[in-house]
Structure 1
């Protein structure tokens, strides 16, 4: 791997967003949130979300870190979703109504991810020919899966992997388990249908129980995995 590849890999998760309160020790990558938001937007007919970003709504009012954060993490605080969208050619529904429906869908999807969002800003960039609201990238790139049993060796990895709702360990920032002198960080993917913050809290409890000291535990969610349809898997 070249130096440029390594830098691109570190940048790929996008912004690292706080989940819950400052003391929850929970973060979720922007790249994990993006496909969930795109799926929600695709359910609003007549308007298509082309690009979406998340950031702090009020950087000056963000809370201080209580536990050691992941690299480049944003401090805890309400978020703003910024989106660029296009409207279907020939759609007769008024634009304010379309934008309101899209905002509501994004607020709901962000809430299901346990992200606190104060505002959704939308910019209408033009029109698209088809009326389908399908997003350009439904799944997103997410974090590379950790292959093999070696990734979960050790008490911390085994404890995290065994928590219900954890579909796999990930390594978006270098390793699935980061052991530092003052904290422990674990990266996970959450199975779709599970509340990320509930899973993170369970992972923190499980990992803390596997340690022989009282180092604080932080958890970074880097993907929300689709549930595999058994009929599709068999085919």
Structure 2
């Protein structure tokens, strides 16, 4: 192996590690029976776009488990390091202006985050904590969130083709490894969804399609690594 080959491999490995770390926490979508997770990066991107209008400016947005108590075990083996199914907590740090009373602005933001989490993603959120970290004299210019970067993967198996054919799937992805991981007792599919469809609804449809496409109808786990603004992104289904 030449020095150039070694350097290229090292750069590729470094990029892969950065991508994995950039996903943030792997959050449960729906409940224990849904077998679906979404990266914190993808979820916060959707929430930021949903509340990007007038009102407090989001500085930081984190999502974590709401209660440190015992959580129900998932019915499908989760992705590596994924959070167990259970209620979540959104923590928002914001900058507020004097155009609206802070309690009213915080309440409106809290409501908007709860609504977006449920209707656009399918997250089960019990708490939203809004903390005002900065007071602004004037309304700031609001920048659009950066475009979503995905690492697309071509479907190379029956499971991959079944998943890619589901409405609302933008592309298969490969951040944690192969887009379709076949374990001894389950199949895991990694993908990006289109912002026009609720992530949980897409994940449920993918699970059903992949289970039918694979011999033995194995349990299927779905990991949503990104939510893209594709051609179908015209609204969200609130199923």
Q: TM-score, normalised by structure 2?
A: 0.86
Corresponding residue to 1:117 among 113, 125, 135? 125
Corresponding residue to 2:48 among 2, 18, 38? 38
Corresponding residue to 1:108 among 98, 106, 115? 115
Q: CA RMSD in A?
A: 1.9
Q: Deviations over 1:141-170 (max 9, x none)?
A: 554233xxxx21211111100011111111
Q: Counterpart in 1 of 2:173?
A: 170
Does structure 1 retain, via aligned residues, the 8 Å contact 2:38–2:224? yes
Q: Counterpart in 1 of 2:74?
A: 65
Q: 1:219 to 1:16 in 2, by over 3 A?
A: same
Does structure 1 retain, via aligned residues, the 8 Å contact 2:148–2:228? no
Does structure 1 retain, via aligned residues, the 8 Å contact 2:59–2:95? yes
Moved over 6 A (4+): none
Q: 1:49 to 1:72 in 2, by over 3 A?
A: same
Q: What is the CA–CA distance in structure 2 between the aligned matches of 1:153 and 1:207, rounded to whole Å?
A: 13
Q: Counterpart in 2 of 1:161?
A: 164
**Structure 1 residues without counterparts, runs of 5 or longer:** 230-235
Counting matched residue pairs gives 221
Q: TM-score, normalised by structure 1?
A: 0.87
The 5 A counterparts of 1:114-193 are 114-128=122-136, 130-132=138-140, 134=142, 138-139=145-146, 141-146=148-153, 151-193=154-196
Q: What is the CA–CA distance in structure 2 between the aligned matches of 1:7 and 1:224, rounded to whole Å?
A: 20
